[in-house]
């Protein structure tokens, strides 16, 4: 292509976001175990904070995954024989450039980023069209749990789901995500998945509770989003950040713990929420995997693993998989 092209397709409007937030907040804040979805970390500030997290010394997953991508990108692209890169939960598209370099080296290609934050999506898509002359970018504002069937179908697609974002889903959600994705792919498409591996507890917990407190601010940002969008009066500073490894589930839990008794008014829901001193609000899980375990999950949902690349004994894993029927 001699001329760059940028298209923005919106399936997750401000009204959709508001409706989903209202539902999640009402259900989660009135549950016996209070919770909020990690999707609400990601407004413009939350996206910037997460980008900062990926550069912290304690947060190994981004470095490990990027190192794998840099060494494996050419092989991934050759195996996938793709002309279209679809990225789910694309964020700032930082690591995407490694795959785009390999795809562009094979010829013209198209990039389809999907993300819930339209501002971050637009900024990243615009930057890429400037960096890669002739790149066709078809950005989609959407949620990978709701809008997989609305992704552009053209081309031979390599669908990248990186950053161990898969680990934020509960096991039943992971299975539903994989089966929904399988039903939306052709036999020529491929899935490139990045997952974090089970490792030493101290290293895991440090990655989610950094010394600089950036992850703590990221965690509290969910409360700021609820305050702004649902006219609530959470005091983020009145909640401590908690990150702990749960070995039985093989995941990290991020929580916010009330420092004292809290009475929070959520005017947008006509709701009053009570917190006891020490009561916790679950904001995220981050599951960790074994190579055999993720292969089994993929198989159960209709995928077969073609190739894996692993960093260290237990650092990180890249998986290339294809639909088997």
* 251 — pLDDT class (breaks 50, 70, 90): very high
Q: Chain-centre distance of CA 77, in angstroms?
A: 22
Instruction: Report the pLDDT averaged over residues 47-76.
Output: 94
pLDDT at 4: 59
Nearest to 305 by CA among 75, 296, 314, 196: 296
Kindly state whether residue 306 falls inside one of the protein's structural domains.
yes
Kindly state whether residue 268 falls inside one of the protein's structural domains.
no
Measured distance CA(286)–CA(289) in Å, rounded:
10
Kindly state whether residue 116 falls inside one of the protein's structural domains.
yes
* 138 — pLDDT class (breaks 50, 70, 90): very high
pLDDT at 1: 39
From the CA atom positions of the chain, what is the Rg in Å?
20
Measured distance CA(80)–CA(231) in Å, rounded:
47
Q: Are strands 190-196 and 157-161 parallel, antiparallel or unpaired?
A: parallel
Measured distance CA(72)–CA(266) in Å, rounded:
48
For 190-239, how does the pLDDT look when each residue is reduced to its tens digit (9 = 90+)? Answer: 999 999 999 999 999 999 999 999 999 999 999 999 999 999 999 999 99
**Predicted confidence (pLDDT) at residue 68 exceeds the cutoff of 90:** yes
What is the overall mean pLDDT for the chain?
A: 94
pLDDT at 2: 44
pLDDT at 3: 54
Q: What angle is formed at CA 171 by the lines to CA 25 and CA 193, rounded to 5 degrees?
A: 105
pLDDT at 199: 96
- At 34 the three-state DSSP class reads coil
Please indicate whether residue 124 or residue 254 has the higher confidence score (pLDDT).
254
For 256-283, how does the pLDDT look when each residue is reduced to its tens digit (9 = 90+)? Answer: 999 999 999 999 999 999 999 999 999 9
Instruction: Report the pLDDT averaged over residues 84-96.
Output: 88
Instruction: Report the pLDDT averaged over residues 237-256.
Output: 98
Question: Tell me, what CATH number does 222's domain have?
Answer: 3.40.50.150
pLDDT at 238: 98
For 33, the domain range is: 1-233+289-325
Kindly state whether residue 259 falls inside one of the protein's structural domains.
no
Work out how many domains the chain is built from and give that number.
1
């Amino acid at each position: 292509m001699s001329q760059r092209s940028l298209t923005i397709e919106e399936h997750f409007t401000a009204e959709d976001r508001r409706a989903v937030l209202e539902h999640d907040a009402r259900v989660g804040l009135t549950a016996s175990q209070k919770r909020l979805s990690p999707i609400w970390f990601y407004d413009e500030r939350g996206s910037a904070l997460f980008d900062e997290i990926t550069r912290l010394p304690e947060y190994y997953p981004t470095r490990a995954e990027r190192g794998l991508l840099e060494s494996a990108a050419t092989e991934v692209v050759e195996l996938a024989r793709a002309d279209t890169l679809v990225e789910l939960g694309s964020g700032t598209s930082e690591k995407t450039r490694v795959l785009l370099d390999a795809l562009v080296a094979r010829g013209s290609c198209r990039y389809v980023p999907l993300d819930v934050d339209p501002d971050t999506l637009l900024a990243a898509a615009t930057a890429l069209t400037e960096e890669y002359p002739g790149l066709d970018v078809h950005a989609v504002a959407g949620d990978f749990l709701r809008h997989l069937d609305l992704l552009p179908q053209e081309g031979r697609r390599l669908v990248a789901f990186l950053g161990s974002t898969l680990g934020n889903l509960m096991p039943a959600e992971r299975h539903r995500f994989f089966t929904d994705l399988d039903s939306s792919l052709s036999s020529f498409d491929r899935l490139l998945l990045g997952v974090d591996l089970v490792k030493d507890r101290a290293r895991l917990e440090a990655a989610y509770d950094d010394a600089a407190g950036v992850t703590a601010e990221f965690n509290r940002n969910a409360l700021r989003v609820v305050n702004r969008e649902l006219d609530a009066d959470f005091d983020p500073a009145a909640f401590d950040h908690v990150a702990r490894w749960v070995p039985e589930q093989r995941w990290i839990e991020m929580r916010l713990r009330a420092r004292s008794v809290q009475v929070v008014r959520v005017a947008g829901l006509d709701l009053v929420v009570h917190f006891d001193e020490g009561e916790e609000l679950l904001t995220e899980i981050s599951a960790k995997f074994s190579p055999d375990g993720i292969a089994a999950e993929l198989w159960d949902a209709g995928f077969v693993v073609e190739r894996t690349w692993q960093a260290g004994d237990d650092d990180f894993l890249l998986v290339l998989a294809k639909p088997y029927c």
